[in-house]
Structure formats: structure tokens, C-alpha cells
Chain A
Amino acid sequence: MRIPKFEYFRPSSIEEGCSLLYKHKAEAKILAGGTDLFVKMKKKEILPKVIISLKGIQKLDRIEWDDRGGLKIGPLVTHEALVSHPIVREKFDFLSEACFKIGTRQVRNMGTLVGNLCNASPSSDASAPLLVLEANLKLVHLYGERVISLEDFFVGPFQNVLDPQEIVVEVQIPNPPRFSAGSYEYIHKASSVGESLVGAAVFLRMDPKEATCREARIGLSSVAPTPIRAKAAERVLKEKKLGEKIIREAAQVASDEIQPRSRPWYRREMTKVLVERAILQAMEKIR
């Protein structure tokens, strides 16, 4: 399958990239890893006349962390880099694990987290962990910049709020508070590789003395037009002692919040199972 023809630019700065976007507008697409873009182009789903590659810009593959600002991930950071980075593995372990699930070894070497988020697939494995980590995205265009939450970034299947003239330059993840942990559970659609049928990320902050949940965040992917937070289910757990009954109730509520397009009955059942498993896993980690 051939990639349709295009004009190629390789700016050496973000400003230059934004200029090019300003000039070419909707006829242009940003190239990071290419694993989503070129597939879509080969299938004729999109046909940009202009490709603007980020690969000529220095330092976009950086992962930065400090104990005040949290984690900052550049647009050329690959999934593989997040799988192996020691800080990510230690402090954002379930994000690292989710990245290890994405694609295949080759795709993880090429594909970027930012590219994956911009693709806005409802079933992206990284999105549920990032939603419960309350990640933000920093977007720049020629005349300014803005920071929006990941939750607000997704608006529909493969649809995000990115303006054609904007470039995502950073994923910002705040440091998790003390006595908290997150986990990610998923089930495959078929075989042991490929898109998840359901992905469930749970983030819990517990009271250090009592077994009470101070805060719960539940992120679900592949069960709705976008990755979502199951807020009603979160409210079930908040300020409660987490016993078997309440966990099961939260899982049930979560499965009622989804809007699956295909295999709906099975997706509801699996949402229940995975949310329950993820809650128990997160609790285990805090212990």
C-alpha cells in the first residue's frame, strides 16, 4: 500500500512549525511517529497535502520530572521511552504498564504518546491512566498557547479540540499525592495483541489511618465515543470504607455509565469485572 503524495517540511523550531500550520491550515498535518498518520493516509481516510515533521526540532523527546511540577512529556516521546524510564516506572507505574500494552514492540519504538492522544481513539490504552492522573495538554499556536485537561481534549471518536493550527508540545501530569496508587486492567478484543475491548484505570487516595477512600478516580476506555471518567462510580467510593459490597456497587455503576457501540452486553460485564479488579489492585499497592 502506497502513502499518497504530499509536500514535506522539517521545521527546526516550534515557532517555524506553527508558521507552517498558519500558512497551510487544514491542508497540513503534524508528523510525529507516523504509526497512526500514515495508516490513515494509506487507507485514504485523510489526505493532507502537507506534512510537517517534528523530527527536526531539538529536545522534543524529553521526559522531565520534578517533585513540584510533576511529569512533563514532550511530543516526540515514544511509548517505549515511557515503558523504560525509571521515574515513570516508579512514580507513575500504571501509566508505564499501560504503555507496555500499546501496539507491539515495533510500534512502541516509533509511536509517540502525544501522537496517540491526538489520534483520539476511544480505545487508546494510555488514555484511561492519564485521565485518572488528571493530565493536561499544553497546546501552542503562532499567537499564543493554552493548557487544557485531557478530559476536555477528547470530544468524539478520533475527534479532539485541537485547532488545525495548534501543536501539542507537552503532556503535564501532576505528582500523585501521598497514600495513593493507581492501576490499569484491560481485556483484549481477540488474541493477545491489539486493541483492548475494555480498559479500566483506577486511582485511589486512601486515608492513612482508616481504610477509607478519600478520593477515587475511574477512567474507562473503549466503552464510549471517547475515553471517559466514570464519575458516578467515583462518587460511590468517595469517603467510604472499601469493602467487597461497595466495590461491587461501584463497578456496577461504572458499567451503567458506558455507551458501547459494539458487543455492548459483554462490554458492560467486562467493565464490571475490570473496574473491580483495578480497585482491588490499587488498594493492594497502597498497603
Chain B
Amino acid sequence: MKKQLIMLRVNGESCELAVEPQRTLLEALREDLGLTGAKEACGTGECGACTVLIDGKPILSCLTLAIEAQGKEIATIEGLAQGSELHPLQKAFIQYGAIQCAYCTSGMILNAKSILDENPKPTREEILKGLEGNLCRCTGYNKILEAIMAASTGKD
């Protein structure tokens, strides 16, 4: 299949890529743009490790075509920090021990961000329900919840 030239807006910047139709957004981010923060842990939509934000909503980049992600604002984990100033969620994840192997972390933090952007003071149940699509095998989710609750109350 012939490659098509597309423009993707990633973390506020416009990037030009040449991709075949079946190329997923995940592959484009990781292999064409070198943004390897989003991961593939399953490739079939169950694990959430490939989660990125498209127009603020958490979506699975492994099941999204790169050509269909044009004209939207894509946010990856690499764009979350402002220079060396980490996002409150990133700081909280580190401070509260919510990171172990971190393979789930990029997707988890972005999804958590979208939850807090929608509702700055969610309940524990709302957070856990919101994260049901982000699998973690290391942490048991305890400290992840703690970190997100702390970030939502502005606790430092």
C-alpha cells in the first residue's frame, strides 16, 4: 500500500509523517516520532498501556489509525511536564510510590489526568472505575489511587 503524507498535532507541535493506512497511532508515535512513552502490552484493547489523550479524551492508540488522528490534539506522556517542572500527577506518582516497573505508568497518568480534568474532586470509586482499563501487575493499584487522590486535593 502506498504511504500517505499526514500531519499530526502532538504535544502542541505539528509533525509531518508518511504512513501506510494500517499504521496505528501507537506505531506512528513510537516508531516514526520516537515518542516511546506509550507502550503496547497487549495490542488488542484490554491493557490501556497505549493510552494517549486525543482532544483531552483517553483513547487506545493501538486501535487508532494514524491517518484518522489528523486534525486533533494528541497529548502523550512526553508532553505532560513543562520543561523540568513535572505535572502534579507525575510528582505524586513518584512521591507516593505508585511506580514500580512503570510499563503501565504513561497510560495510567494520562488517563488519570483526563479523569481529574473532567472532575477535579473525584471519589475513590470514580477514580478506580475510570482506571479499570489500565492494567497494572506490580502495584495492586493502592499507591496509584493514593497518588491520584493526593494530586486531586492539591496535597504536596
A34-B63, A104-B133, A105-B58 given; A5·B22 CB < 8 A: yes
Closest CB in chain B relative to A92 CB, distance in Å: 21
* Interface 0/1 of A23-60, CB less than 8 Å to B: 00000000000110011001100000001010100000
What is the bound-complex CA distance between A5 and B27, given in angstroms?
14
Partner of B51, one of A34, A39, A106, A193: A106
A4→B22 contact, CB < 8 A: yes
Interface size range on B against A: 20 to 34
Determine the distance from Cα of A4 to Cα of B83 in the docked complex, in whole angstroms: 38
With A5-B22, A6-B22: A105-B130 Cβ-Cβ less than 8 Å? yes
Chain A nearest Cβ from B7, distance in angstroms: 16
Are B133's CB and A35's CB within 8 A?
no
Interface locus among B42-50, B90-98, B148-156: B42-50
Q: Which of A5, A8, A38 contacts B67 (CB 8 A)?
A: A8
- A 216-260 to B, binary, CB cutoff 8 A, 1 in contact else 0: 000000000000000000000000000000000000000000000
Interface string of B67-100 (1 = CB under 8 A from A): 1100000000000000000000000000000000
Chain A residues within an 8 Å CB radius of B44? 1, 39, 42-43
Checking A8, A103, A109, A193 against B21 with a beta-carbon cut-off of 8 angstroms, the contacting residue is A8
Residue from B24, B48, B60, B67 within 8 A of A35 (CB atoms): B60
Quote the shortest CB–CB distance from A146 to chain B (angstroms): 29
Mask, A104-148, CB within 8 Å of B = 1, is: 111101100000000000000000000000000000000000000
- A194 proximity list for chain B (CB < 8 A): 46
Establish whether residues B63 and A39, one from each chain, have CB atoms under 8 Å apart when the complex forms: yes
Asked if A3 contacts B59 (CB within 8 A), the reply is no
B11 at the interface (CB under 8 A from A): no
Please state if A192 and B64 are interface contacts (CB–CB under 8 Å).
no
Asked if B59 and A104 sit within 8 Å, CB to CB, the answer is no
Closest residue of A by beta carbon distance from B51: A106
Do the beta carbons of A51 and B111 come within 8 Å of each other? no
Q: Are B21 and A38 in contact (CB under 8 A)?
A: no
CB-based contact B133/A110 at 8 Å: no
A287 within 8 Å of B (CB atoms): no
> Which residues on A sit within 8 Å (CB–CB) of B67?
8
Nearest-Cβ distance from residue B145 to partner chain A, whole angstroms:
14
At the interface, yes or no: A7 with Cβ under 8 Å from chain B?
Answer: yes
Q: In this assembly, does A2 line the interface, its C-beta being within 8 Å of a C-beta of chain B?
A: yes
- Beyond A8-B67, A39-B45, A109-B58, whether A104 also contacts B132 by CB under 8 A is yes
The answer to whether the Cβ of B13 comes within 8 Å of any Cβ in the partner chain is no
> Is the Cβ of A193 less than 8 Å from the Cβ of B133?
yes
Contacts of A80 in B (CB 8 A): 57
If A34-B63, A35-B45, A110-B59 touch, whether A6 touches B1 (CB-CB below 8 Å) is yes
Q: Is the CB of B22 within 8 A of A110?
A: no
Q: Are B21 and A7 in contact (CB under 8 A)?
A: yes
Q: For A107, what are the chain B residues with a Cβ–Cβ distance below 8 Å?
A: 45, 60, 133
Given the complex, which residues of B lie within 8 Å of A106, measured CB to CB? 45, 48, 51, 58-60, 111, 133
- Our pick among A1, A8, A38, A109 for the contact of B59 (Cβ within 8 Å) is A109
Q: Which of A8, A34, A43, A192 contacts B132 (CB 8 A)?
A: A192
Query: Which of B27, B64, B65, B132 is in CB contact (< 8 Å) with A105?
Result: B132
Closest to B2 in A: A7
The 8 A-B residue pairs with the shortest CB-CB distance in the complex, in nearest-first order: A104-B133, A1-B43, A8-B21, A3-B22, A193-B132, A39-B44, A38-B63, A109-B57
Q: A35-B45, A103-B45 are in contact. List 5 more A-B contacts (CB 8 A).
A: A3-B24, A4-B22, A38-B24, A103-B133, A109-B58
Residues of chain A touching chain B, judged by Cβ–Cβ distance below 8 Å, are: 1-8, 34-35, 38-39, 42-43, 51, 53, 55, 80, 103-107, 109-110, 192-194
